[in-house]
Amino acid sequence: GAAPWTVFPNPTADLVRFSHPITATVFDVMGRAVREARQARELSFQGLAAGTYVVRSEAGHSRAVTVRR
């Protein structure tokens, strides 16, 4: 659905969960796509550097996620 969603825990060290399944792309601070999710309820940030990422759903909603190492 196109309803806004939430992401938790935030900040995270690895796995985040979404309030409902979303299709989304994760972007780093340089605007590069670094992860994709397809109708996913969770997504791993493992292997990504510490910092802030933007999760943007195909419906256009965005949430910032902070990764801590």
**How many of the other CB atoms lie within 10 Å of CB of 62?**
11
pTM, two decimals, is 0.92
CB 22 within 8 A of CB 42: no
CA distance 27 to 34: 6
- Over range 5-12, report the average pLDDT: 96
CA distance 65 to 26: 9
12-68 tens-digit pLDDT: 999 999 999 999 999 999 999 999 999 999 999 999 999 999 999 999 999 999 999
CA distance 46 to 59: 25
- Sequence-separated (6 or more) residues with CB below 8 Å from residue 31: none
